[in-house]
Structure 1
Amino acid sequence: MMKHITLLILSLMFTFACTSVQAKDEGLYFGASVGSASIEQSGSDADLGDFDFNENDFAWKLFGGYQFSGLLAIEAGYVDLGSPSDSRGSVDPYGLDVFAVAGIPLGPVRVFGKLGGIYWDADLEYIGKNISNDGLDLAAGIGLEFELGSIAVRGEVEYFDILDQTWMYTVGATITF
Structure 2
Amino acid sequence: MKVIKREHPMTQNTLPGISYQALLLCAVSLSAMVLSVPGQAAQSHDEGFYLGLGLGYASYSDDIYSSEVLNNLLAQEGIQPESVASSSADGDDSSFSYKLFGGYRFNGFFAVEAFYADLGDVSGRLSWSGQGTLVDATVPQLWDVDFQAEDMKVEVQALGFSAVGTYPVADNFRLYAKLGAFWYNTDSRGGWVVDATSGIGGIYMTEGSWEHSNDDHSWLGAIGVTYTLSEAIDINLEWETFQDIDFQYGKNETSDFDVSVFNASFSYNF
Q: TM range, normalised to the smaller chain?
A: 0.7 to 0.9
Tell me the equivalent position of 1:6: none
Q: 2:56·2:264 contact (CA, 8 Å) conserved in 1?
A: yes
Q: Which runs of 5+ in 1 are unaligned?
A: 1-17
Query: For residue 232 of structure 2, what is the amino acid of its counterpart?
Result: S
The answer to whether residue 138 in structure 2 is matched with residue 138 in structure 1 is no
Query: For residue 92 of structure 1, what is the amino acid of its counterpart?
Result: E
Please state how far the C-alpha of 1:86 moved relative to its aligned partner: 2.2
Please state how far the C-alpha of 1:69 moved relative to its aligned partner: 1.0
Query: For residue 84 of structure 1, what is the amino acid of its counterpart?
Result: V
The answer to whether residue 177 in structure 2 is matched with residue 110 in structure 1 is no
Change (3 A) 1:120 1:144: same
Q: 2:60·2:259 contact (CA, 8 Å) conserved in 1?
A: yes
The answer to whether residue 58 in structure 2 is matched with residue 37 in structure 1 is yes
The answer to whether residue 91 in structure 2 is matched with residue 91 in structure 1 is no
Separation in structure 2 between the aligned mates of residue 168 and residue 48 of structure 1, nearest angstrom:
29
Tell me the equivalent position of 1:59: 97
Separation in structure 2 between the aligned mates of residue 131 and residue 108 of structure 1, nearest angstrom:
46
Percent identity, aligned pairs only, is: 31
Change (3 A) 1:175 1:49: farther
Deviations 1:18-68 (A, max 9, x none): 8x6433342000000001111223433887348966611100000000011
Please state how far the C-alpha of 1:172 moved relative to its aligned partner: 0.9
Q: 2:48·2:105 contact (CA, 8 Å) conserved in 1?
A: yes
Query: For residue 160 of structure 2, what is the amino acid of its counterpart?
Result: D
The answer to whether residue 43 in structure 2 is matched with residue 22 in structure 1 is yes
The answer to whether residue 187 in structure 2 is matched with residue 123 in structure 1 is yes
Relative contact order, higher structure (CA 8 A, sep 6+): 2
Separation in structure 2 between the aligned mates of residue 97 and residue 35 of structure 1, nearest angstrom:
17
Separation in structure 2 between the aligned mates of residue 155 and residue 112 of structure 1, nearest angstrom:
10
Partner-residue secondary structure (3-state), 1:170: strand
Separation in structure 2 between the aligned mates of residue 76 and residue 152 of structure 1, nearest angstrom:
17
Q: 1:24·1:105 contact (CA, 8 Å) conserved in 2?
A: no
Tell me the equivalent position of 2:164: 101
* From 53, 73, 92, the counterpart of 1:48: 73
Q: 1:55·1:86 contact (CA, 8 Å) conserved in 2?
A: no
TM-score by structure 1 length? 0.81
Q: Which runs of 5+ in 2 are unaligned?
A: 1-39, 76-87, 126-149, 192-208, 246-255
Query: For residue 151 of structure 1, what is the amino acid of its counterpart?
Result: I
TM-score by structure 2 length? 0.54
Report the structure number with the largest CA radius of gyration.
2
Partner-residue secondary structure (3-state), 1:84: strand
Q: Which stretch has the larger CA shift, 127-136 or 75-84?
A: 127-136
User: Could you say what the CA RMSD is over the residues aligned between the two structures, in angstroms?
Assistant: 2.4
Separation in structure 2 between the aligned mates of residue 45 and residue 120 of structure 1, nearest angstrom:
24
Partner-residue secondary structure (3-state), 1:44: helix
Separation in structure 1 between the aligned mates of residue 216 and residue 60 of structure 2, nearest angstrom:
16
Partner-residue secondary structure (3-state), 1:62: strand
